[in-house]
Amino acid sequence: MIPIPTDAQGMKLYLIKLGEISLKGLNRSFFEKKLKNNIKLKIHPHKSLLLREKGRFYLYVDDTCPDEIVEKTLKTTFGITGFSRAMVCGKAWEDIISTTNKIISIPPFVEGNLSQNAILAYDSPATCKYRTFKVEARRADKSFPKTSYQIEAELGGVVLERIPSLKVDVKRPDITLNVEVRENVYIYSSPIPGPGGLPVGCAGRGLLLLSGGIDSPVAGYRMARRGLKQECLYFHAYPYTSDMALQKVQDLAKIISPYMMGTTLHVVNFTEAELWIKNHSKEEENTLMMRACMMQVANRIAKNIDAEAIVTGEALGQVASQTLQAMAFTNSMSSLPVLRPLVGMDKEEIIETARRIGTYETSILPYDDCCVIFSPKHPLVRPDSETERNAFNDMNIDEVLDKCVSKVKTYEISYKTGISSL
């Protein structure tokens, strides 16, 4: 049982639902520790306290921490399937009624975001965006003098008095007010969805090839959702690609950084390699040779940062370099596994995710990527891996690539970027 912590005075409470983590067996505590740590890091420097019971977390946050920081934290931290602002009180009936009145006076019960900190004055009429509701009571403490049904009926009356526009619907309510009678009484409304997945940092490290396009930020988001910690690598071909293109990639990295628990952006100047490829390979092979070089550079950088996989935004059949044969060739140029989380996704689905995570508008800004500028009119679509590997070796580009790696520039991007800039 969770007692109210003595130092929880002046703290707000959130109940957090854990998804896949609660299905874990013996190593569950490893995943939970990671998640706790990730939440605390994001809330810091505000004080927080996290307790766990029965597959959920009780998060107490210092009252001075703005609601939007907590909300953004919980919406961007993988491992969380949902969260509710909750209130806790003793078991005296008048306490339960006054706490019910408080919780139905804040979002999501009333119009607005959870972020609207103010609890509305009791005598101002509340406007609710929902049409129907129900109260659901659970009595872990069987000695409590009212039955679940009585609690539901009486507190339902409290809700109706305060928000007369609502109607009761016990089968499919728009919103539910949960009341749990345990050692204390916890009152909370339907959870706001979290991002799901597994906590970042529990599935090793990867290197995301981040271009300025729509796909690769979504690929990074998807792998972070499976717990992969990632650094990013961008191939810049200045002056063929402008500083605006680099700025765009930095902006994208900032947008996805809260999901990734922060990241490091490595920027490689790829111009010399691009020109070398153009002068030392057949035009129809240019794209393949460029992808081969990217893989080689990515492998070297991955080794330097202890990453165990390369992540790309490729999807089967999307462009000429994303056929099975082309992917087989790029795979053969990488000694680390190449993860392609979007491989089976339609562009429409990828765009939908990009919009949801907030990268789409930045991705469609019109600054060309190096691939576009140097791509041939008629690229090879079904390359033979061995032939292309020979073509790659014939280019003798190793030294140029070494130089690229030695001149890499790095930018640290904090997970706070997307959170505190609200």
Q: Which window, 14-22, 83-91, 223-231, 306-314, contacts ligand ATP (CB under 6 A)?
A: 306-314
| 224 touches, from ligand ATP, Mg ion, none (C-beta below 5 to 8 Å by class) | none
| x-or-dash string of contact with ligand ATP, 262-301, rule CB under 6 A | ----------------------------------------
Kindly report the CA angle at 137 between 135 and 139, in degrees rounded to 5?
A: 170
User: What does each C-alpha distance from 202 to 19, 197, 216, 230 come to in angstroms?
Assistant: 15, 11, 21, 12
Phi-psi region of 132 (alpha: psi -120 to 50; beta: other; left: phi over 0): beta
Among 79, 369, 379, 415, binds Mg ion (CB under 5 A): 369
CB of 323 to Mg ion, least distance (A): 16
Q: Is 86 helix (H, G, I), strand (E, B) or coil?
A: strand
CB of 319 to Mg ion, least distance (A): 9
Q: Is 413 helix (H, G, I), strand (E, B) or coil?
A: strand
Q: Does 363 sit near Mg ion (CB under 5 A)?
A: no
Instruction: Specify the pairing of strand 167-168 against strand 132-139.
Output: parallel
The alpha carbons of the chain give a radius of gyration, in whole angstroms, of 26
267 forms beta bridges with 234, 409
CB of 317 to Mg ion, least distance (A): 15
Q: Is 414 helix (H, G, I), strand (E, B) or coil?
A: coil
Residues in contact with ligand ATP, counted by CB under 6 A, come to a total of 19
CB of 195 to ligand ATP, least distance (A): 21
Kindly report the CA angle at 421 between 209 and 108, in degrees rounded to 5?
A: 105
Q: Which window, 96-104, 169-177, 204-212, 414-422, contacts ligand ATP (CB under 6 A)?
A: 204-212
Q: Is 49 helix (H, G, I), strand (E, B) or coil?
A: strand
Q: Which window, 3-11, 19-27, 140-148, 365-373, contacts ligand ATP (CB under 6 A)?
A: 365-373
Residue nearest to ligand ATP (CB): 213
Q: Does 213 sit near Mg ion (CB under 5 A)?
A: yes
Taking the C-alpha atoms of residue 30 and residue 38, their distance in angstroms, rounded to an integer, is 13
Q: Which window, 37-45, 53-61, 130-138, 366-374, contacts ligand ATP (CB under 6 A)?
A: 366-374
CB of 208 to ligand ATP, least distance (A): 7
Q: Does 319 sit near ligand ATP (CB under 6 A)?
A: yes
Q: Are 84 and 191 in contact (CB under 8 A)?
A: yes
Q: Does 100 sit near ligand ATP (CB under 6 A)?
A: no
Sign of torsion over alpha carbons 117, 123, 129, 131: positive
Q: Does 370 sit near ligand ATP (CB under 6 A)?
A: yes
Taking the C-alpha atoms of residue 183 and residue 91, their distance in angstroms, rounded to an integer, is 8
Q: Which window, 36-44, 46-54, 185-193, 310-318, contacts ligand ATP (CB under 6 A)?
A: 310-318
Among 235, 360, 374, 415, binds ligand ATP (CB under 6 A): 235
CB of 55 to Mg ion, least distance (A): 41
| 210 touches, from ligand ATP, Mg ion, none (C-beta below 5 to 8 Å by class) | ligand ATP
Q: Are 391 and 292 in contact (CB under 8 A)?
A: no
Residue in the block written with tokens 């890499």:
408
Q: Are 342 and 314 in contact (CB under 8 A)?
A: yes
Residue nearest to Mg ion (CB): 213
Q: Is 277 helix (H, G, I), strand (E, B) or coil?
A: helix
Contacts of 366 (CB under 8 A, 6+ apart): none
Q: Does 210 sit near ligand ATP (CB under 6 A)?
A: yes
Q: Which window, 92-100, 188-196, 209-217, 299-307, contacts ligand ATP (CB under 6 A)?
A: 209-217
Task: Dig out the tokens for 148 from the structure.
Answer: 């679940």
Q: What are the φ/ψ torsions at residue 24 (nearest 5 degrees)?
A: -70, 150
Among 211, 257, 287, 322, binds Mg ion (CB under 5 A): 211
Q: Which window, 24-32, 46-54, 140-148, 369-377, contacts Mg ion (CB under 5 A)?
A: 369-377
Q: Are 118 and 66 in contact (CB under 8 A)?
A: no
CB of 372 to Mg ion, least distance (A): 7
Question: In the complex, which residues of this chain contact ligand ATP (CB under 6 A)?
Answer: 209-211, 213-216, 233-235, 312-314, 318-319, 321, 369-371
Question: In the complex, which residues of this chain contact Mg ion (CB under 5 A)?
Answer: 211, 213, 369
